[in-house]
Amino acid sequence: MRFDGKTVYVTQADTEQGEALALRFAQEGANLVLGDASGDLVKKVEEKGARVLNVHPDLSTFEGAQALVDEVKAALGRIDVLIYNNNTVVRTGLENLSRDVFESQLNDNARTGFVLTRVVGDHMAEYHSGKIVYVSSIHADKPTGSAVMYSIAKGCINMLCKETAIFYGPAGIQANLIEVGAIKGDDEKFVSEFSPLYAMGYMEERIPRRKAGTNEEIAGVAAFLASEDANFVNGASLRADGGFELFYGFRAGKGEKVDE
């Protein structure tokens, strides 16, 4: 198995995507550090034979992130892979964006990524090896019209990935990013009166295979980027949306009302 003896840290493990990531890495032999996981998920991972450390760090400060690393070192030795999975969505348009949402979305989805990258990156550099995978979104490039600060924060993470690849590459660390899109439920999460992207329940019609993606499929992409199979992949953004972003309009006679 590709991750035997490795320790993988998955942030925001209390989500459906976080659970899929945790189970995939456990299945491939990793030990897991899980951010705010449920007791049920911890049990599922342990049943796969993995050692688990469930953590509840304050990732908004360097002190909190360093305390996390120290806790992991004491329990499991080191962090080999960081899966930055923070994906908190708050629906709001630009015209009614409040200061609280502005600050919380940047903090939850961008600041924590920078803080973890610096602290965990320095930790990995001590061993001259490590993988960082950012689970981002196609909406770093394509506006939703419904979750403006989510998109802006994801844009920050996309550039952070590239800067990380340059800065930590000489230390034997690869940093890559997944631009996730068209996952089951996204049509409800990002629906907007402003943008027709997810309008009228046509999301799956815009995917070439006519079927939304799953969290398990995203976990498979993350496992590839975190493995030795991707040792020469660094600073890359891999779009995993089934071709959804390639859509440019329905042919005449089908869905004319939501043509972009």
The residue whose two tokens read 């802006």 is 152
pLDDT in tens, 162-206: 999 999 999 999 999 999 999 999 999 998 877 778 877 789 999
The span from the CA of 203 to the CA of 201, in Å, is 6
Q: For residue 255, report the phi and psi dihedrals to the nearest 5 degrees.
A: 70, 30
Which of 203-207, 213-217, 239-243, 251-255 shows the lowest mean pLDDT across its residues?
A: 251-255
Judged against a pLDDT cut of 60, whether residue 88 lies above it is answered with: yes
The span from the CA of 77 to the CA of 47, in Å, is 21
The span from the CA of 152 to the CA of 113, in Å, is 14
Q: Taking all residues of the chain, what is their mean pLDDT, rounded to a whole number?
A: 93
Q: Is-contact 15 38, C-beta < 8 A?
A: no
Q: How many CB atoms lie within 10 A of CB 129?
A: 15
The span from the CA of 248 to the CA of 41, in Å, is 39
Q: For residue 38, report the phi and psi dihedrals to the nearest 5 degrees.
A: -75, 160
The H or E element that residue 7 is part of is strand 7-10
> Hey, what amino acid is at 171?
A
What is the average pLDDT across 197-226? 93
pLDDT in tens, 69-79: 999 999 999 99
Judged against a pLDDT cut of 60, whether residue 38 lies above it is answered with: yes
The H or E element that residue 156 is part of is helix 148-168
The CATH code for residues 7-258 is: 3.40.50.720
Beta-bridge partner residues of 130: 173
Of residues 251 and 146, more confidence is placed in 146
pLDDT in tens, 114-162: 999 999 999 999 999 999 999 999 999 998 889 999 999 999 999 999 9
Judged against a pLDDT cut of 70, whether residue 35 lies above it is answered with: yes
The H or E element that residue 115 is part of is helix 112-125
The DSSP letter of residue 210 is: S
Q: What share of the chain is helix, strand, coil (3-state, %, to 5)?
A: 50, 15, 35
> Which of 130, 119, 114, 121 minimizes the C-alpha distance to 225?
130
The span from the CA of 136 to the CA of 238, in Å, is 10
Please give the order of strands across the beta sheet that includes 52-55. Answer: 52-55, 31-35, 7-10, 81-84, 130-137, 173-180, 237-240
The span from the CA of 190 to the CA of 91, in Å, is 8
**Every domain of the chain and the residues it spans:** 7-258
